[in-house]
């Protein structure tokens, strides 16, 4: 498994479906700061 990206690194690719199946990703949000928050388990 790769190590987590560090400040200054290019962001790894991210494009995933939402709960309705529509795909969203970083490529849809150019020129804006983006918070990417990976959550732990639901519940």
Partner 1 sequence: MKVRDRWERWEALDAAALFVVFDDPDLIRRTMLDGIDPEALPFPVLVDRDRRTYDAWGLARARRRDIWLDPNVYKVYWRLLRAGDKLRPGGTDVYQLGGDFVIAPDGAIAYARPQQRDDRPPVGELLNAAKASRSS
Residues that bind partner 1 (CB under 8 A): 1-14, 16-20, 22, 24-26, 29-43
Q: Smallest distance, Å, CB 10 to partner 1?
A: 6
Q: Smallest distance, Å, CB 27 to partner 1?
A: 9
Dihedral angle, C-alpha 26, 27, 30, 32, nearest 10 °: -10
Q: Smallest distance, Å, CB 43 to partner 1?
A: 4
For 39, the enclosing helix (H) or strand (E) is none
């Amino acid at each position: 498994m790769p190590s987590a990206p560090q400040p200054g690194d290019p962001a790894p690719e991210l494009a995933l479906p939402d709960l309705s199946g529509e795909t969203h990703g970083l490529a849809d949000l150019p020129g804006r700061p983006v918070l990417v928050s990976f959550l732990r388990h639901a519940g």
